[in-house]
Amino acid sequence: MDQQRAGETARILIEALPYIQRFSGTTVVIKYGGNAMENEELKNSFARDIVLMKAVGIHPVIVHGGGPQIGDLLARLGKESKFVQGMRVTDSETMDVVQMVLGGLVNKEIVNLIHRNGGRAIGLTGKDGELIRAKKMLLKGDSNDPALKAPEIIDIGHVGEVQGIDVRVLEMVAGSDFIPVIAPIGVDDEGISYNINADLVAGKVAEVLRAEKLILLTNVSGLKDKQDNILTGLSAQRVQELIDDGTIYGGMLPKIGCALDAVQNGVHSAHIIDGRVPHAVLLEILTNQGIGTLITRR
Ligand SMILES: Nc1ncnc2c1ncn2[C@@H]1O[C@H](COP(=O)(O)OP(=O)(O)O)[C@@H](O)[C@H]1O
Ligand SMILES: CC(=O)N[C@@H](CCC(=O)OP(=O)(O)O)C(=O)O
């Protein structure tokens, strides 16, 4: 290595020092969206980032999605995917597919990736240790019928919202070498399974663990306005305006909602970043080059 390159390498390593000192010993919850699992190279760069974080004393907790992967298997079974306000309409048959894909294929693939990159991981669904207690989610629809006084309630089947998180299993894992990898499946008092949007689970997990950061990896470079500019440092009121005028829709709705809730409830900062950028997590945590949309408490 020539001297110039050696100097540059040393400079980059030293740049990480204040971040390592600041974040070592803290918990960072990372939501790994199905859309960010684009190719093998990206998946490996994600796993390397997570292993490096753990090696420098940060406690990463991964909550993963897998929407496109669920959609693929449903299509192979001849079932169409339907979404209302960013939530998958989930009948009993779809719930079975959700459990197979999230709890099986996707969860174990991420665990495997971490092992292949030199770390140790343990895969959990919200059913393990009753980690995620869920209740049925009811959506309020916009009714066009002026005769209806209350907004229409839409039933989207086995879709849940988080009622509580039992942190004991996570605390056990946090003190060890193992990195928890959580599939967003919840269970209610009667043992009924629920499909929960992974952003919502990540937000609640970050809240109960009092995480330093909530990082939401997705397939866009951040929250955008209508002219495609990345928006950052947003107030709750500004977000509501952007929802009302249709700038924020679909899968971005639960993402921005849970980011705002998390920072209101004790998480230091939430970041919506582009999971298609190699090493996006590392750049966000250990360098000056934060990317995407930052949300903090105001
Ligand atoms: N204002 C916005 N800025 C950026 N993306 C938006 C916005 N409103 C809606 N979206 C949509 O949200 C999507 C991200 O959510 P989603 O598809 O659920 O991703 P993930 O699988 O990563 O959770 C983007 O691909 C985009 O289509
Ligand atoms: C209720 C609901 O919509 N659940 C999601 C769970 C997976 C998920 O959130 O995946 P991404 O993060 O990759 O979108 C779904 O069925 O697609």
Q: Which tens digits make up the pLDDT trace of 254-294? A: 999 999 999 999 999 999 999 999 999 999 999 887 778 99
| Cβ(84)–Cβ(138) below 8 Å | no
276 in a domain, yes or no? no
235 in a domain, yes or no? no
Q: Which two tokens stand for residue 40?
A: 């093998």
Q: How confident is the model at residue 250 (pLDDT cuts 50, 70, 90)?
A: confident
Atom 8 of ligand 1 has which residue's CA nearest to it? Answer: 248
Spell out a b/e string for 85-112, using b for 16 or more CB atoms within 10 Å of the CB, else e.
bbbbbbeeebbebbbebbbeebbebbbe
Rounded to the nearest whole angstrom, what is the distance from the C-alpha of residue 211 to the centroid of ligand 1? 24
Q: What is the mean pLDDT of residues 174-198?
A: 95
Domain count along the chain: 1
Q: Which atom of ligand 2 is nearest to the CA of 83?
A: 3
227 in a domain, yes or no? no
Rounded to the nearest whole angstrom, what is the distance from the C-alpha of residue 119 to the centroid of ligand 1? 30
265 in a domain, yes or no? no
285 in a domain, yes or no? no
Q: Is 191 annotated as a binding residue?
A: no
162 in a domain, yes or no? yes
Q: Which two tokens stand for residue 93?
A: 């048959």
Q: Is 67 annotated as a binding residue?
A: yes
Q: Is 203 annotated as a binding residue?
A: no
Q: What is the CA radius of gyration of the chain?
A: 19
Q: How confident is the model at residue 251 (pLDDT cuts 50, 70, 90)?
A: confident
182 in contact with ligand 1, CB cutoff 6 A: no
Q: Which two tokens stand for residue 68?
A: 């496109």
| Cα separation, 26 vs 8, whole angstroms | 28
119 in contact with ligand 2, CB cutoff 6 A: no
Indicate the helix (H) or strand (E) that contains 172: helix 168-174
Ligand 2, pocket-test mutation among 42, 82, 88, 100, most atoms within 8 A of CB: 88
Atom 5 of ligand 2 has which residue's CA nearest to it? Answer: 197
Q: Is 195 annotated as a binding residue?
A: yes
Identify the CATH number of the domain in which residue 161 sits: 3.40.1160.10
- Supply the mean pLDDT for the chain: 92
Strand partners, 42: none
- For residue 91, the SS3 value is coil
252 in contact with ligand 1, CB cutoff 6 A: yes
pLDDT at 157: 96
Rounded to the nearest whole angstrom, what is the distance from the C-alpha of residue 252 to the centroid of ligand 1? 4
Ligand 1, pocket-test mutation among 85, 218, 228, most atoms within 8 A of CB: 218
181 in contact with ligand 1, CB cutoff 6 A: no
Its pTM stands at 0.93
Rounded to the nearest whole angstrom, what is the distance from the C-alpha of residue 222 to the centroid of ligand 1? 9
ipTM of the complex: 0.96
Q: How confident is the model at residue 148 (pLDDT cuts 50, 70, 90)?
A: very low
Q: How confident is the model at residue 4 (pLDDT cuts 50, 70, 90)?
A: confident
Atom 6 of ligand 1 has which residue's CA nearest to it? Answer: 252
183 in a domain, yes or no? yes
Rounded to the nearest whole angstrom, what is the distance from the C-alpha of residue 35 to the centroid of ligand 1? 10
Indicate the helix (H) or strand (E) that contains 200: helix 198-208
Per the structure, the complete domain to which residue 160 belongs is given by 24-213
pLDDT above 70 (res 143): no
pLDDT at 34: 84
Nearest ligand to the C-alpha of residue 218? 1
pLDDT above 60 (res 22): yes
Q: What is the mean pLDDT of residues 147-173?
A: 84
Rounded to the nearest whole angstrom, what is the distance from the C-alpha of residue 33 to the centroid of ligand 2? 8
pLDDT above 90 (res 205): yes
Ligand 2, pocket-test mutation among 79, 94, 195, 216, most atoms within 8 A of CB: 195
| One-letter amino acid for residue 162 of the chain | V
* CA torsion, ordered 65, 67, 69, 75, to nearest 10 deg: 160
